[in-house]
Amino acid sequence: MSRKRRQFDRAFKVEAVRLVTEEGRPLAAVARDLDIGENVLRRWKQQLAKDQDLAFVGTGNLSPEQAELRRLQRENADLREERDILKKAISVFSDRK
């Protein structure tokens, strides 16, 4: 029997980390109380410590760098497609007599 992967919103993650950092509760106890893995809570704590604004952006909510990278990748794909179309057009028109 497979277990469905649970998803937690940003507020839940921030509050779980706050219980460990600000209230000084043991990480293992907080993880057990919230029914999450210790490693999961430890990772959330590290992500929040690394960058509070970009921690837990969620699916579809990209950091500015990731959004720019995705935009550039789309633009690159479009330009390659246009280039390929032009190459084919040139070969078609140059073969005509």
DSSP string covering the chain, please?
-PPPPP---HHHHHHHHHHHHTS---HHHHHHHHT--HHHHHHHHHHHHH-TTTTT--TT---HHHHHHHHHHHHHHHHHHHHHHHHHHHHHHHH--
Largest CA distance in the chain: 83
Give 32's contacts (C-beta < 8 A, 6+ positions apart): none
Out of 40-49, 57-66, 88-97, which region has the weakest mean confidence (pLDDT)?
57-66
Q: Residue 3 has what pLDDT? A: 73
For residue 38, what pLDDT band results from cuts at 50, 70 and 90? very high
Domain boundaries, the chain: 1-59, 62-97
For residue 63, what pLDDT band results from cuts at 50, 70 and 90? confident
As a CATH number, domain 1-59 is 1.10.10.10
Q: Is the pLDDT of residue 4 over 70?
A: yes
Q: Is the pLDDT of residue 60 over 70?
A: no
Q: Is the pLDDT of residue 52 over 80?
A: no
